[in-house]
Amino acid sequence: MRIVAGSAGGVRLGPVPDGTRPLSDRAREGLFSSLGEAVPGAAVLDLFAGTGAVGIEALSRGADRAVFVDSSPAAVRAVRDNLERTKLAERAEVVRAEASRAVRSDLGSFDLVVLDPPYAMGGPELESLLGDLAGRAAVAAGGLVVLTRETKSSIPVIPVDWRSYRRLSYGDAVVLVYRA
């Protein structure tokens, strides 16, 4: 895996921790091409961060800051290592916590929220997390929420004030983008 573009473009990321399913380079490239001008200057929340590749890609492409959340100690170490490799650690915060607990702890408001949960995460649990994001104003007005799911999984019910913005497919992954 590598960072596709921006100030850290081409930098190879460290090993992927066991149990982590990172978004492919191709899928990240397509996602960020579709997000365009929404990234520079953005505050980013990367939930289920894994390797941190998506949030680091955003920082590399001009996001102001990013908060990375993962409950796995190995993933937290991987994110920190990758932030050091890309020289972007000064604009990042890494939090070891379960995603819904982190959202309920009031991390702030974000212009771009990325969720790459395990494919096994059930609909009710995911819908509850999306509701927490909306209810706690974690997504700024007009902000974007990116959700990755397995192509053959059901699409969760989204908060009433969110609108579908884009749907991108890459192999076994579908990337859903919503505007708050």
Averages of pLDDT over each 10 residues, the chain, 180 residues? 94 91 88 94 97 97 98 97 98 97 92 92 90 91 94 85 92 91
Residue 15 lies in a domain: no
At residue 25, the pLDDT reads 87
Domain hosting residue 150, numbered range: 25-179
Residue 175 lies in a domain: yes
- CATH code of 44's domain: 3.40.50.150
**8 Å CB contact between 26 and 4:** no
Residue 69 lies in a domain: yes
Count the Cβ atoms, other than its own, within 10 Å of residue 122: 12
Residue 3 lies in a domain: no
At residue 159, the pLDDT reads 92
Residue 4 lies in a domain: no
Residue 20 lies in a domain: no
Residue 1 lies in a domain: no
At residue 167, the pLDDT reads 93
Number of structural domains (the chain) is: 1
Specify the pTM. Answer: 0.94
At residue 145, the pLDDT reads 97
Residue 121 lies in a domain: yes
